[in-house]
Amino acid sequence: MRALFLLLFLFRLIDTQAQEIEADLSYKYMFANNWDKVIQTYNFSRPFLTEKQPLFMHGINGSVSYIFKSENKFKQGINASYSHFNSYAENVNFVNQYNLHFLNVGYMLRYESTEKLKGLTTDFILSASSSALFRNVNDEPFIFDDTRSKAFGIGGDLSVRTSYSFNLKNKIRLSPFVQIGYTPYLFSPNTEAVINQTSGLVSPNFTDIFSSQIGLKFRLRE
Partner 1 sequence: MNRRKFLKQTTLLSIGGLLLPSALLSSCRPDTLFEDSSFQGKVLIIGAGAAGLYAGYILKSKGIDFQILEAAPNYGGRTGKITGFANFPIDTGAQWMHGKNSIIGDLAKKSDTQITLDDSSEKFWFNNEIVSSLPQDINAIFLDDYTAPDVSFAEFAVQKGFGNEYKNIVEFIAGDSGAAASHISAYWKIKEEEYWSSGDEDFKFQETYFDLIEKQIAIHVQDQIQLNTAVKQIDYSGSTITVTDNNSNVYTADKVIITVPITILKSGDIEFVPALPTEKTTAFSKIGMDAGMKVFLKFNTKFFDENIFGGNICASYSDDSIGKVQDDNVLLAFIMGQQAEYLTSLGSDTAITNALLQELDTMYNGQASASFVASHVQNWTTNPFVRGAYSYSTVGMGDARKVASESVDKKLYFAGEAMNVNGHHQTVHGAIETGYREVINLIKDVRK
**Of residues 18 and 194, the one with the C-beta less far from partner 1:** 194
List the one residue out of 206, 200, 202 whose CA is nearest residue 187. 206
3-state secondary structure of 115: helix
For residue 116, state whether it binds partner 1 (rule: CB under 8 A).
Answer: yes
Vertex 72 angle, CA 69 and 74, to 5°:
90
3-state secondary structure of 8: helix
Stretch that binds partner 1, among 15-23, 75-83, 100-108, 190-198 (CB under 8 A): 190-198
How many CB atoms sit inside 10 A of residue 35's CB? 28
> Which position among 34, 53, 63, 127 is part of the footprint of partner 1 (CB under 8 A)?
53
For residue 197, state whether it binds partner 1 (rule: CB under 8 A).
Answer: yes
For residue 1, state whether it binds partner 1 (rule: CB under 8 A).
Answer: no
Sign of the alpha-carbon torsion through 147, 148, 149, 155: negative
For residue 141, state whether it binds partner 1 (rule: CB under 8 A).
Answer: no
How many CB atoms sit inside 10 A of residue 72's CB? 9
Residue 45: CB minimum distance to partner 1, A:
4
**Of residues 66 and 173, the one with the C-beta less far from partner 1:** 173
Stretch that binds partner 1, among 11-19, 71-79, 100-108, 189-197 (CB under 8 A): 189-197
- d(CA 198, CA 202) in angstroms, rounded, equals 8
Stretch that binds partner 1, among 1-9, 49-57, 63-71, 167-175 (CB under 8 A): 49-57
> Which position among 19, 21, 43, 111 is part of the footprint of partner 1 (CB under 8 A)?
43
Render 165-202 in DSSP notation, one character per residue.
-EEEETTEEEEEEEEEEEEEEEE-THHHHHHTS-SSSS
**Of residues 122 and 130, the one with the C-beta less far from partner 1:** 122
**Of residues 184 and 189, the one with the C-beta less far from partner 1:** 189
Stretch that binds partner 1, among 9-17, 60-68, 75-83, 176-184 (CB under 8 A): 176-184
Q: How many residues bind partner 1 (CB under 8 A)?
A: 50
For residue 99, state whether it binds partner 1 (rule: CB under 8 A).
Answer: no
From residue 140, alpha-carbon distances to 98, 135, 148, 170, 194 in Å are 11, 9, 10, 47, 14
